[in-house]
Structure 1
Amino acid sequence: MKPEIPPLNRRLSVAPMMDWTDRHDRYFLRLLTRRTLLYTEMVTTGALLHGDAARHLDHDPAEHPLALQLGGSDPKALAACVRLAEPWGFDEINLNVGCPSDRVSSGRFGASLMAEPGLVADCVAAMAEATDRPVTVKHRLGIDDLDNDDHLQGFVDRVAAVGCRVFIVHARKAWLSGLSPKENREIPPLQPERVRGLKAAFPNLTVVHNGGVRDLATARARLDGLDGVMIGRAAYETPWILAGADREVFGQADAAVPDRARVALAMADYTARMTARGVPLQAITRHILPLFHGVPGARAWRRHLSETAHRPGAGAEVIREALARCAAARPNAA
């Protein structure tokens, strides 16, 4: 039976994160929240057009609502990727204009595109022509010395002119010279007031805050004056924060509260299906290590998964064994 897909609502989303938000992690997060919008890892145009497209695009129907994030700067290549992805039925196509890594910048995409609003507009226009899905942009406040509200608003104005209605703003500038990607996530100060200022300048656009959100209380606070909030690393490192999202952020009073033990068992069933298709067990278990973070038995859970998942022939039983060792394994454990 095909799972019911909630309508796309941008009040809360989980950021695209390289090496983290793959299909197995997304399936896991979907067991915690039905309403939160999920994103793929960034997929470059080269990877789709010249590699194994299905490896990047395949996903379980349960993952929806789901957005595909693309990385690139060639309008024709981006449009070709959008057309290639159409059969997979993503709910949104997003262009990465925020990644600060040297590899991405040297390829003329990611945050470096903040300096080329005309090119970004051309890319978005070409992508929108290839699909009837929303085409959105995730970007920074600025880069290097291009870091003021005039430039930021000029960038948004140029891209909005070709039809983009949704802007997801990482509330930090990016230093492309002198800082590593990790430092670019932490050192430039957050400036959430500038994101709110952007929304005030463009009240008819959808503006989403990204950066520094570690829990739902902060997410709710960041929603003040904005259309949505995106959570990054906290959703991976402490995923259980999403368990209350449907009620606390989306206001769905009748939303079922997840149960950690049942989530673990659901992941065991999913793992059995995936390993039967040749997926390595560790490719799945690495994402669920923090499931019991902060509750009794968390260490035993993590230890058994870490020490056992790599063994030849290991399968879904490893998750069930880890659960049996966890003091929080009884149903309705907090």
Structure 2
Amino acid sequence: MGKKLINDPDNVVQEMIEGIVMASSQRLEKLDSYNIVVRKDAPVEKVGLVSGGGSGHEPAHAGYVGQGMLDAAVAGDVFTSPTPDAVFEAIKTVDSGNGVLLIIKNYTGDIMNFEMAAEMAEAEGIEVDQVVVNDDVAVEDSLYTTGRRGVAGTVFVHKIAGAKAAQGADLKEVKRSAEKVIKNVRTKGMAINPCQLPAAEKSTFSLEEDEMEMGIGIHGEPGTEKTKLKNVDQIVELLLADILSDLEVEAEEKVALMINGMGGTPLMELYIANRKANQLLKSKEIEIYKTYVGEFMTSLEMEGLSITILKLDDDLINLLEAESEINLL
């Protein structure tokens, strides 16, 4: 069994949420009886933004709660969807009368539970709408998903929708901006070592010393294929080729590039991957407007990375550049 710096495995999510709030106690708080992080000043006079999902993806989603991004993040157990009543509680807390947008990753449990919460909120007269993020090009259907999975591209949806809401846009306009990101963002990931759930006896899948897994998700599930381990330049080439065959980017178009660590990958290795990604995009005359390197959507201690490309226009650039108190993005 792998080592973990935890106390009781049953309490990891609550203790983590308490620690997150203590680290930003001037601006964040935890809702009583729920593992939900909200802005201390909620509800704010604007469209409310709620996201969330299973824990184990930190800093997602609680790390994106704050001015200019989310108003609340609902944390389920590790790799497990939050319950409808928890999501409902978050919706009620952030609603200022301007409606609430739910940002949901495309996993069957998440969609079901968030939609049930939306129905509960609408029964109480709260206007709720939703978007579903499905940026993963690796698989069409998976263990947890009908259609493509929602992965690291979700963070760009938080940022763009958050900026639009902060400008005072109405619910339809905020949803439109979120959907524009979803249409123009693609991700693919890989791993050289799996992760292990806090209470589990063994890892989520197994790899030999000379193997890697391409097309992994963020719930410890295996990817699309095991192959012999390649060097990072070759890995980046493969990931980017699949992304760019799915997302058509013309020469001289602008993109945001995200090199995302899966939780156990040294920054040194992420920067080496970023070097190759920059070289490849420049060789195709694609303009990299902004690069993000770090951990944005992880999978516990999995060793690996994902690459996300967001195709930009002037509107998305303005929203990406909008001020936010979240310094991760």
Fold match (TM-score > 0.5): no
Compare relative contact order (CA 8 Å, sep 6+) and give the higher one, 1 or 2. Answer: 2
Higher helix share: 1
With normalisation by structure 2, the TM-score equals: 0.31
Larger CA Rg, structure 1 vs 2: 1
